Structure 1
Amino acid sequence: MAAPEPHPKPQSAGAPAALRGVVQGLHHVAIAVRSLADAQEFYAGALGLDMGEPEYVAEQAVNVVVAQVGGTRIEFVEPVDGESPVAHFLEKRGPGLHHLAWKVQSVEEALQQLAARNVRLIDTTPRPGSHNTTIAFVHPSATGGVLMELVQDPD
């Protein structure tokens, strides 16, 4: 009798079923922080990550700093006022993992496919994101409790 695999392969690897064929891969992981300066002290100081310059994203009332680690992109998101969705997240849950972002060819097409499957969306139309990206968010109630972002890189 053969020994079982220590980590069996999932039946549907990769993106959620509603996004299969739309998602090209993981774009980034976002961490909500109260202070980018404090985050940089640990992630750059203690871990040695090369962190970029802050970028203000008016649409979301946040400052964003990106660290690239090998093939993984980590975004640190700091609210600039108490009305930012990230400020509400921090108030309710504290600092930590905020969302997973999926790279897509077209946010608009991905939203159409999700809407056709009755997936609950936060955004029904694309909006501007950091670094000239186009984004939209999928509601955590549709994804097992994880806030997910769809990201289309600039051409």
Structure 2
Amino acid sequence: MNDPPKKIDHIGIAVRSIEERLPYYEQVLGLPFLGIESIPSQRIKVAFLSAGNVNLELLEATDHHSTVARFIAKKGEGIHHIAFQVNHIQARIRELKKQSVHPGSLINGAHGQTVTFLNPKVSGGVLIELCEQTTLPNENGRNR
């Protein structure tokens, strides 16, 4: 790829209940809690924690038909995906298609990001998310 990812943006962790899992990450690991956001289009609720230069996202399904609910039903709780921050996501998608890697549709992710997912069959079983920041972060590092 001509323009490699800028960094790992976050690691998504599928959980049955944010309320049950959040204390472990906050109290045992000592990670700062950044907030919760609902993403109705994906039928999930997301809790954000800071782990230095990478955030953790605890993903809870709000509907049993969501991809997170299906993931948990099939594999149980655990790492759901790794997200890489990229510039020019649409150009990146065109480049991937030329390499016969067919990403999913562009969707609106948390914090005003535009995201797409790459099929885990082409990456050895790891669901990869590409995300591009499409809104500006506020003074707390969160997006407006």
Question: Is TM (by shorter chain) over 0.5?
Answer: yes
Q: Give the distance between the partners of 1:61 and 1:119, measured in 2 at CA.
A: 26
Secondary structure, aligned partner of 1:65: strand
The answer to whether residue 125 in structure 2 is matched with residue 145 in structure 1 is yes
The answer to whether residue 74 in structure 2 is matched with residue 127 in structure 1 is no
- 1:1-155 pair list within 5 angstroms: 19=1, 21-121=3-103, 123=104, 125-155=105-135
Q: Which amino acid aligns with 1:104?
A: V
1:9 corresponding residue in structure 2: none
Q: Give the distance between the partners of 1:120 and 1:112, measured in 2 at CA.
A: 9
Unaligned 5+ residue runs, structure 2? 136-144
Q: Give the distance between the partners of 1:145 and 1:133, measured in 2 at CA.
A: 24
Q: Which amino acid aligns with 2:57?
A: E
Aligned length: 135
Q: Give the distance between the partners of 2:110 and 2:45, measured in 1 at CA.
A: 9
Distance 1:141 1:20, change over 3 A: farther
Give the CA deviation at 1:154. Answer: 2.2
Give the CA deviation at 1:69. Answer: 1.7
CA RMSD after TM alignment: 1.3
Unaligned 5+ residue runs, structure 1? 1-18
TM-score of the two chains, using structure 2 as the length reference = 0.88
TM-score of the two chains, using structure 1 as the length reference = 0.82
Identity of counterpart residues, as a percentage?
30
Segments ≥4 residues shifted beyond 3 Å? none
Q: Give the distance between the partners of 1:107 and 1:86, measured in 2 at CA.
A: 23
Q: Which amino acid aligns with 2:111?
A: H
Give the CA deviation at 1:120. Answer: 3.4
Secondary structure, aligned partner of 2:91: helix
1:14 corresponding residue in structure 2: none
Which structure is higher in strand share? 2
